[in-house]
Chains A and B, each alone.
Chain A
Amino acid sequence: MALLNIRNLSVDFATGGGSFRAVDGVDVTVEAGEVLAIVGESGSGKSVSMLAAMGLLPWTATVTADELTFDGKDLRNLSPSARRKVIGRDVAMIFQEPMSSLNPCFTVGFQIREALAQHLNLDRAARKKRALELMEMVGIPAPEKRLNAFPHQLSGGMNQRVMIAMAIACGPKLLIADEPTTALDVTIQAQILDLLTGLQRDAGMGLILITHDMGVVAETAHRVAVQYAGWKVEDQPVKDLFQTPHHPYTAALLAALPERATERRLPTIPGVVPGQFDRPQGCLFSPRCAFADDRCRSTLPPVQPPELGRARCHYPLMAPATEEAQ
């Protein structure tokens, strides 16, 4: 049984200009001990799909799903209090901007102890001891001293470690990390990714890593889901995805990477991601797709079988991307 199982998740936002579909029929599964990367350009619905699954979206959002289970429990009809028991303890989330999730008015030690008090039955002394342990686990030097620091007194990398310490405080079974290193320098990013994957491995935790960085995906994920304009367009084990992308969007994205360039001119994807008011009929990628025909422009593409990367495409690619580019 998968740890997290989502079938046909859609999210509509009520906006001034009418209803806007931010996530459209997305499936997500994560097994215990698995690292799933969700990759896609900004606005493709990566954050919204995870927030929806956790029930963390504002009232303007309408969430529907055929199935939404965590560890066998149906999340759709949990009472708010039952949901809070699960979220924060068994599922934890960390966000891109540690400063916006930490409270500037309290010391980081206080905030970690609060996270512990909410979900675990520990006395004061035990909470204090556990907070110190957690600070050590996430590699914060001189943790006794740092427990008394306020977030603004710590660097971005240190604050992200504090966020991770809070997230793993209750030993979650699943950790969702939304762009956890995007605001950090590469040498610090490397430290944080090592920390996350190390914790994931040691605890056998499931990890969902949301990112737009193909390098981060290649180095940390076991499996990759690619999102485009609210659709999941492909889902494959990491090596297969980079070697044999089946969706034309994935292939084009990989070809546009400067590090894969074979010539000075990079392959490009013409046009831009569709917005609220110019969503095309048929395949959402069809205005930019090199393989699009009339069928693509009029009919919704099916989801292909796993051997074809679950590509949401009428004409999935079979050939390796490298041959494609030549």
Chain B
Amino acid sequence: MTQPVVTARNLSRHYESGGGMFSQRQVVRALSEASFSIDPGKTLAVVGESGCGKSTLARLITLIEEPTAGEFTICGTPGVPENWDSLRSQVQIVFQDPYGSLNLRHRVGSIIEEPLKIKRPDMPAAERASKAREMMEMVGLRPEHYDRFPHMFSGGQRQRIAIARALILEPKLLVLDEPVSALDLSIQSQVLNLLLDLQERMELAYLFISHDLSVVRHVADDVVVMYLGRPVERGSKEAVFGAPRHPYTVALLSATPSADPTRHRNRIKLEGELPSPLDIPAGCPFAPRCWKAQDRCRTERPELGDAAHAAACFYPEGTETA
């Protein structure tokens, strides 16, 4: 059996805020008890609405922040701070905003080489440059782009620069936080194709964060659906999209507009809005908006469990007739 590139067990990140003289100390539960694993060459997509903890998870896995509870491994090595230095070249991140995430005062070549400069200071400059050029070719940038500044590039090209930079250390895992959300449709498909090509060629594992379900349906192998900081459903793409079990997943899928004007739809109307993460309901976090909620849902929290297709729900869809 192949060793997973990343495994996570009950990963949590809570933030304390306030606690001054007049305000009460409050805890933001940005992420609670996330468990998953990703094999080489596979894509795990994390979906959910704004504030559900997707980027928090990304920061933990890319060794930017420590979890407040739970553990994870990268290529079998525990992701504890003692190991961060040696693990950093194994996991890299690409952000949503191709404008904000690049240093606009540096030339494309030196932006792409920078991780090498830091991680392999002994590598001769000529070797670094030739590696950078190799990366540029791989992501579809032209050789003459090497000496240009990022402001001369379009959004899609800047995202290619960010991807080249992330890949230069030959990581095993790429965390992609909304990598195509800022791109226009005609450019989005170019970048998605590039990501699929690179994955095949380098056996990369992707942690793919997106709120766009049609993109996720296209790229993912497995899917985790998050709500208010918690995974509420996890399974293969086919299972989650084909036979969603958590009512929130069902609602999310039914709210996603489909580019087919002939499709007759029966949209589930969710009442209300996402509660504040400072004020997560007792019991099932989705209960206040759930059309199936019973008394039990409001007092006891359903666990996700370890099943291949798991849903944290007492009354999951598809079990009524089973």
A residues neighboring B (CB under 8 Å) = 41-42, 141, 155, 157-158, 185-191, 193-194, 212-219, 221, 238-239, 242-243, 252-254, 256-261, 264-270, 272-273, 288
Closest CB-CB distance, A324 to chain B, in whole Å?
A: 16
B185 & A212 in contact (Cβ 8 Å cutoff): yes
A187 & B255 in contact (Cβ 8 Å cutoff): yes
Given contacts A213-B257, A266-B193, could you give 6 more A-B pairs where the C-beta distance is less than 8 Å? A219-B265, A221-B261, A265-B196, A266-B192, A272-B156, A272-B187
Residue B261 contacts which of A239, A252, A267 (CB distance < 8 angstroms)?
A239
A187 & B189 in contact (Cβ 8 Å cutoff): no
Asked if A256 meets B251 with Cβ closer than 8 Å, knowing A190-B269, A212-B184, A265-B196, the reply is no
Docked pose: A194 CA to B255 CA in angstroms: 11
Which of B154, B156, B214 has the most chain A CB within a 10 Å cutoff? Answer: B214
A185 & B211 in contact (Cβ 8 Å cutoff): yes
Asked if A265 meets B257 with Cβ closer than 8 Å, knowing A253-B186, A272-B187, the reply is no
Which chain A positions have C-beta within 8 A of B213? 186
Q: List, sorted by A's number, 28 A–B pairs whose CB atoms are closer than 8 Å.
A: A185-B49, A186-B255, A187-B255, A187-B270, A188-B273, A189-B255, A214-B185, A218-B257, A219-B258, A219-B261, A219-B265, A239-B262, A243-B262, A252-B186, A256-B186, A257-B185, A257-B259, A259-B218, A261-B218, A265-B193, A266-B192, A266-B218, A268-B186, A268-B193, A269-B186, A270-B190, A272-B157, A272-B187
Closest CB-CB distance, B42 to chain A, in whole Å?
A: 14
Please tell me if B101 contacts chain A, counting CB pairs below 8 Å.
no
Which chain B positions have C-beta within 8 A of A267? 189
Which chain B positions have C-beta within 8 A of A261? 218
Asked if A272 meets B154 with Cβ closer than 8 Å, knowing A188-B273, A190-B267, A219-B257, the reply is yes
Which chain A positions have C-beta within 8 A of B50? 185
Please tell me if B215 contacts chain A, counting CB pairs below 8 Å.
yes
Asked if A259 meets B273 with Cβ closer than 8 Å, knowing A215-B259, A268-B186, A272-B154, the reply is no
A216 & B261 in contact (Cβ 8 Å cutoff): no
Residue A218 contacts which of B186, B218, B258 (CB distance < 8 angstroms)?
B258
Q: Which residues between 190 and 221 of chain B lie within 8 Å of chain A, taking CB atoms?
A: 190, 192-193, 196, 211, 213-215, 217-219
B189 & A258 in contact (Cβ 8 Å cutoff): yes
B185 & A216 in contact (Cβ 8 Å cutoff): no
Which chain B positions have C-beta within 8 A of A189? 255, 257
Docked pose: A267 CA to B185 CA in angstroms: 11
Residue B259 contacts which of A157, A260, A265 (CB distance < 8 angstroms)?
A260
Docked pose: A206 CA to B211 CA in angstroms: 31
B residues neighboring A (CB under 8 Å) = 49-50, 154, 156-157, 184-190, 192-193, 196, 211, 213-215, 217-219, 251-252, 255-263, 265, 267, 269-270, 272-274
Nearest chain-B residue to A252 (Cβ)? B186
Which chain A positions have C-beta within 8 A of B259? 214-215, 217-218, 242, 254, 257, 259-260
Which chain A positions have C-beta within 8 A of B184? 41-42, 212, 273
A186 & B261 in contact (Cβ 8 Å cutoff): no
Docked pose: A252 CA to B184 CA in angstroms: 13
Closest CB-CB distance, A185 to chain B, in whole Å?
A: 4
A157 & B186 in contact (Cβ 8 Å cutoff): no
Nearest chain-A residue to B253 (Cβ)? A186
Closest CB-CB distance, A166 to chain B, in whole Å?
A: 20
Residue A191 contacts which of B252, B256, B265, B269 (CB distance < 8 angstroms)?
B269
A218 & B185 in contact (Cβ 8 Å cutoff): no
Which of A155, A221, A253, A259 has the most chain B CB within a 10 Å cutoff? Answer: A259
Nearest chain-A residue to B156 (Cβ)? A272
Asked if A242 meets B261 with Cβ closer than 8 Å, knowing A259-B214, A265-B196, the reply is yes
Docked pose: A40 CA to B185 CA in angstroms: 9
Closest CB-CB distance, A219 to chain B, in whole Å?
A: 5
Asked if A258 meets B192 with Cβ closer than 8 Å, knowing A186-B252, A268-B186, the reply is yes
Docked pose: A264 CA to B192 CA in angstroms: 10
Residue B258 contacts which of A212, A215, A238 (CB distance < 8 angstroms)?
A215
B255 & A257 in contact (Cβ 8 Å cutoff): no
Residue B189 contacts which of A188, A194, A266 (CB distance < 8 angstroms)?
A266
Which chain A positions have C-beta within 8 A of B157? 272
A157 & B273 in contact (Cβ 8 Å cutoff): yes
Nearest chain-B residue to A155 (Cβ)? B273
